[in-house]
Amino acid sequence: MGSTGGSTRSAPDAAERVARRKPAGREADGYAEEAAALRTGLVREIVAGGGLTDPAWRAAFEEVPRHLFVPYYYEAGDAAAAAAPPGTRTTRAGEVGAEHGTVGYTRLWRDDPHPLRRARWLAGAYADAPLATRVRDGELITSSSQPSLMARMLQALQVRDGDRVLEIGAGTGYNAALLAHRLGDAHVTTLDLDPEITEAARNHLAAAGFRPAVVTGDGARGCPLHAPYDRIIATCAVASIPSAWLGQCRPDALILTPLATGLIALRVADARHAEGHFLAIPAYFVPLRGSGPPPQVPTHGLPSRPLLDDSFRFLLNVAAGHLEPVEALALWEHEGRPGRERYGVTVRGERQWAWLDDPEGAYGWPLGPPGRLEPFRALSPGAP
């Protein structure tokens, strides 16, 4: 693979990875053998689903021990609580993604005295599923994303040896470990607003033998200390692209971030210009902390059938606040029910907008909180 010229250090070789996975002075991992077998099964499942086609990323998922990053997590739902062995701890908190009501959380953890609960914890750590790892005042604060989605995002990042990567949203540290496995510790910075989260991520990384830079700070401001970056990847959703991210990128850098229930991959031209398309896959992430709640997506006046279609719900999200639901339905049907990959985002200085098919075409909607900007273009289907 080629280098960006930003660094002369290549990706770590196998001997270095082995040495890092056995940090001196730490207790032996009593789950290592069983976890390795479960990890092999997880990788096999992701590959069968079309992921991990890059051997370097496959090696990262095969070798980075996810269970060290989730010493405990929560299963949501009354069914999970009912299925838990006697004595399992539960809490009550607001359901992730729900507007009303509460849900029980079953806490599974590594040091549970009950062997069946420990086995359930370890199996869940290697399931291809997201894990709720921190809940505060009824709000999901951090999670470990679904591994197959992480694999697709990391491959879409198109990293090259020597690339410097900034991750927005440290979470458990697992994603940063995968990046560090691929690129080396010195090339990875992970950032989070909450000092408790960064401290836990730092400890998890050290336990697994990785030491990338873990920084406490506002994700919207990036991390100028270690800039410039060749890649920025966010594991939290944004309503618009923070200008600081572009300013901390090298020309031709790539930014990959959740936006409007999708993943936008932006190629950066300079500190004020970037453009790119959405990936085809859906993605649901908690919002960037401090950015405010996502806009409400109205559905009044709509029949139920199109609301069952993911591509239509994506249009409602990407144009939320700037396109009436009935107009969105007419557009969607007129344009052949477009999937996410036909949409894109353009950043030109202070102006940002999402668009369908063409950044200068008939359909475009400004990004950001509703009311902050007037739609510069939102034509009816078939309009000249």
Q: Catalogue the active-site residues.
A: 145
Closest CA to 287 of 365, 219, 343: 219
60 SS3 class = helix
β-sheet bridge partners, residue 135: 140
Q: Are 258 and 237 in contact (CB under 8 A)?
A: yes
φ/ψ region of 20 (left if φ > 0, alpha if ψ in -120 to 50, else beta) reads alpha
CA distance 87 to 60: 36
- For the residues of 305-340, what is the DSSP string, one character each? HHHT-HHHHHHHHHTTTTS-HHHHHHHHHHTT---G
356: tokens are 């369908």
Q: 351-356 and 343-348: which strand pairing?
A: antiparallel
Q: Which residue is associated with the tokens 């750590």?
A: 125
Hey, which bits of the chain come out as E strands?
A: 72-76, 90-94, 102-109, 131-136, 139-144, 165-168, 188-192, 213-216, 229-234, 249-259, 262-270, 273-278, 343-348, 351-356, 364-366
The CA–CA distances, whole Å, from 78 to 105, 163, 379 equal 8, 45, 46
Cβ(222)–Cβ(248) below 8 Å: yes
Residue 353 φ/ψ, nearest 5 degrees: -150, 150
Query: For residue 266, which amino acid is it?
Result: L
Residue given tokens 């607003």 in the structure block: 193
Question: What distance in Å separates the CA atoms of residue 181 and residue 14, rounded to the nearest whole number?
Answer: 10
What residues contact residue 313 under an 8 Å CB cut-off, 6+ apart?
261, 297, 307
